[in-house]
A and B are shown apart, each in its own frame.
Chain A
Amino acid sequence: MLTTTPGGTWLVLALVVPVAGVLLAMILRGRHAERIALVLMPAGLAIAVAIAAGVMATGGPLSYVLGGWAPPLGVALRADALAAAMMLTTALVIGAVGVFARANFATPASASGARASFTFWTLLLAVWGALNAVFLAGDLFTLYVALELLTFAAVPLVCLDGRAETLRAALRYLLFALLGSALYLSGAVILYGMYGTLDIVLLSSLIRAEPATWAAGALMTAGLLAKTALFPLHLWLPPAHAGAPPAASAVLSALVVKGSFFLTVRLWFDVMPGVPGDAGAQLIAVLGAAAILYGSVVALRQARLKLLIAYSTVAQIGYLFLMFPLAFDQGTGQLESGAALSGGLMQAISHATAKAAMFMAAGLMYAGLGHDRIADLRGIARALPVTVIAFGLGGISLIGLPPSGGFLAKWLLLSAAVTTGQWWWAVVMLVGGLLTSGYIFLVLARAMGATDAPLALAGPVARSREWITLALALVSALLGLVALTDLDFLQIGRPVAGLR
């Protein structure tokens, strides 16, 4: 029987604090939204740190049983090391985006500008609360609701400026997401019909590999992939990024797509580790490999910096799905939580920090130049050196150079590919790394090109925004140093370990 563990209250706070912020902003309206968000961000970071410390200290998952009703009747919140790591990343990125966005969305005097600012800060808090719910939820239906909350908070971020182009992008994103969530829900109802529970731990002990479970798993996975923008369901992502403000792009690309990815991991590793089999794991990785190659090649051909980064996200999402066949154990016929899972999670975290920093850097270059055409970036490295360094550091993590988080992720995945004898995934990763370095150097070479006269900036670029971008990029570029500690901490509290 699942009970509330010491420290379980932190899990409730992690959900209540952002949601309370949203409600408070709705009541007070206007200029208060920004202040509420900026006050709550350090508090949320502290809560995430407390949860991570609690998981490390107890060596097991934290859990909280809502209202004292244990599953299957009630609903439980649960935080294992995966959830704690993702929550910490989310709090960090949201905080950095908050500091960065103060210049864009500082509450102005005019009524129309005040509305955009109010909307942005409220939605930022809403995205954060929804992500925490995705990481903490212990049953498939709560996860569905959390995923929908995430979508509803993320879609309006795309069309904050209200131009027709961005409205179209938002509507297309919403339709993709709705199809995805309906498919996910239909899979969940099939699982409930088969096994009579939606709680992840209970379900994992009951689940059997049979046609209905395969159908449910396929429906749910397809739905989640549409939300994660895995090739070939990525069509909504580049247009959504093209017109969104840089702060919104950073949140979307770094965090929102990771929410549904995290749910896919929960589904495959925790709910049904023995159901997909080798064929399913290979299939999903084929999509991942196609995403890496397609996304990188298209990124190389982009004329605008923002779209280059967006297509780079399409490619980097592909890496996340390479871990499934690498985690598959031929002996037990199950997906095992081991080095491959750690590598996949590390990729998610390092991509989140690096990509947020790169979108923020691109936003600053746009603010400085008045455009983001890659061909005309010449001289920007002289004018905004900190920004270009931040972009480069983010790129280092994407390419996978040491000591970045991307290096550690790709190293874990590569060694898993070698030990399991699946050399073809190693080849995909290496080719992807080569293509990634291609488009990063393409941008850096242009940005560092010499000019006759110093570049006159089109608009002011605040120092604080440059430094916060650099700080986030540094986190990503130095994340690989956690390998010096014991990486096994990511396996703490994996819920199925004791039940199999």
Chain B
Amino acid sequence: MSATVLFGLCGALLVGLGVYGLIVQPQPLRKILAFNLLGSGVFLLFGVIARRGAAAGFGGDPVPQALVITGVVVAFAATALAVALLLRLFEVSGTVTLRADDGEGRDA
């Protein structure tokens, strides 16, 4: 098994775990972590694609590497926004559940 296949399979596994977690886990924090797993899997796929595109003396295709940096920044910003919303929700309601019938979400 070549390195690209191995890392490709790892990436696919991470994506699978991430999607599963995002759909199945009820707690928002776990959903956010699952999104990060999913994102890491996609970024790993970018690395694999870059490696497969190695040519002209380069160890890898530079374009996916450039894209993945942007992708990481976007995913970081998304996580920060999600965590900030979650913290605010905890401050306001004392719970971190997404369902309105738990806690005191019914007040307004």
Which residues in chain B, 17-37, are within 8 Å of chain A measured between CB atoms? 18-19, 22, 28, 31-32, 35
Any B CB within 8 A of the CB of A192: yes
A243 and B42 form a contact (CB under 8 A): no
Q: How far is the CA of A159 from the CA of B105 in the complex (A)?
A: 14
B35 and A179 form a contact (CB under 8 A): yes
- Complex contacts, B53 vs chain A, CB 8 Å: 193, 196
Instruction: Select which of B41, B82, B100 is within 8 A of A174 by beta carbon.
Output: B82
A167 and B89 form a contact (CB under 8 A): yes
- Complex contacts, B86 vs chain A, CB 8 Å: 171
Any B CB within 8 A of the CB of A279: no
B45 and A162 form a contact (CB under 8 A): no
Per-position 1/0 for B78-93, Cβ under 8 A of A: 1001100110110011
A253: shortest Cβ distance to chain B, in Å? 21
A175 and B108 form a contact (CB under 8 A): no
Given A167-B88, A167-B89, A168-B89: A182 in contact with B38 (beta carbons within 8 A): yes
Q: How far is the CA of A157 from the CA of B85 in the complex (A)?
A: 12
Which A-chain residue is minimally distant from B22 (CB atoms)?
Answer: A179
A152 and B45 form a contact (CB under 8 A): no
Q: How far is the CA of A335 from the CA of B85 in the complex (A)?
A: 41
Q: How far is the CA of A89 from the CA of B92 in the complex (A)?
A: 37
Q: How far is the CA of A164 from the CA of B102 in the complex (A)?
A: 11
- Complex contacts, B46 vs chain A, CB 8 Å: 189
B70: shortest Cβ distance to chain A, in Å? 6
Given A148-B78, A172-B98, A182-B39: A192 in contact with B49 (beta carbons within 8 A): yes
Which A-chain residue is minimally distant from B87 (CB atoms)?
Answer: A167
Which B-chain residue is minimally distant from A193 (CB atoms)?
Answer: B49
Q: How far is the CA of A102 from the CA of B64 in the complex (A)?
A: 44
Which A-chain residue is minimally distant from B31 (CB atoms)?
Answer: A175
Question: Chain B at the A interface: mostly helix, strand, loop or mixed?
Answer: helix
Instruction: Select which of B41, B64, B85 is within 8 A of A192 by beta carbon.
Output: B64
B85 and A159 form a contact (CB under 8 A): yes
Instruction: Select which of A164, A167, A175, A189 is within 8 A of B104 by beta carbon.
Output: A164
Any B CB within 8 A of the CB of A218: no
- How many residues belonging to B are interface residues under a CB distance threshold of 8 Å? 42
B81 and A174 form a contact (CB under 8 A): yes
Which residues in chain A, 149-205, are within 8 Å of chain B measured between CB atoms? 151-152, 155-156, 159, 162-165, 167-168, 170-172, 174-175, 178-179, 181-182, 185-186, 189-190, 192-193, 196
A8: shortest Cβ distance to chain B, in Å? 24
- Complex contacts, B38 vs chain A, CB 8 Å: 179, 182
- Complex contacts, A175 vs chain B, CB 8 Å: 22, 28, 31-32, 35, 82
Any B CB within 8 A of the CB of A141: yes
B90: shortest Cβ distance to chain A, in Å? 9
Any B CB within 8 A of the CB of A56: no
Instruction: Select which of A155, A171, A190, A243 is within 8 A of B28 by beta carbon.
Output: A171
- Complex contacts, A189 vs chain B, CB 8 Å: 42, 45-46, 49, 64, 67
Which B-chain residue is minimally distant from A179 (CB atoms)?
Answer: B22
Any A CB within 8 A of the CB of B74: yes
Given A167-B88, A171-B28: A185 in contact with B78 (beta carbons within 8 A): no
B10: shortest Cβ distance to chain A, in Å? 14
B104: shortest Cβ distance to chain A, in Å? 7
Any A CB within 8 A of the CB of B59: no
Any A CB within 8 A of the CB of B77: yes
Q: How far is the CA of A33 from the CA of B52 in the complex (A)?
A: 48
- Complex contacts, A144 vs chain B, CB 8 Å: 71, 74
B64 and A168 form a contact (CB under 8 A): no
B107: shortest Cβ distance to chain A, in Å? 8
- Complex contacts, B18 vs chain A, CB 8 Å: 182
Any B CB within 8 A of the CB of A20: no
Q: How far is the CA of A56 from the CA of B21 in the complex (A)?
A: 49
Instruction: Select which of B15, B35, B70, B105 is within 8 A of A168 by beta carbon.
Output: B105
Q: How far is the CA of A186 from the CA of B37 in the complex (A)?
A: 13
Q: How far is the CA of A167 from the CA of B38 in the complex (A)?
A: 24
Given A171-B85, A178-B82, A189-B49: A164 in contact with B42 (beta carbons within 8 A): no
Any B CB within 8 A of the CB of A145: yes
- Complex contacts, B19 vs chain A, CB 8 Å: 179
Instruction: Select which of B78, B92, B103 is within 8 A of A163 by beta carbon.
Output: B92
- Complex contacts, A174 vs chain B, CB 8 Å: 78, 81-82, 85
- Max count, chain B CB within 10 A of own CB: residue among A152, A163, A181, A185: A185
Instruction: Select which of B32, B74, B78, B89 is within 8 A of A164 by beta carbon.
Output: B89
B91: shortest Cβ distance to chain A, in Å? 9
Instruction: Select which of B15, B74, B104 is within 8 A of A148 by beta carbon.
Output: B74
Any A CB within 8 A of the CB of B54: no
A498: shortest Cβ distance to chain B, in Å? 26
Q: How far is the CA of A34 from the CA of B45 in the complex (A)?
A: 43
Any A CB within 8 A of the CB of B13: no
5 nearest interchain CB pairs?
Answer: A164-B93, A193-B49, A167-B89, A164-B92, A186-B42
Instruction: Write 17 A-B pairs (CB below 8 A) sorted by A numbering.
Output: A148-B77, A163-B92, A164-B93, A165-B105, A167-B89, A168-B89, A171-B28, A174-B82, A179-B19, A179-B22, A179-B35, A182-B18, A182-B38, A185-B71, A186-B15, A192-B67, A193-B53
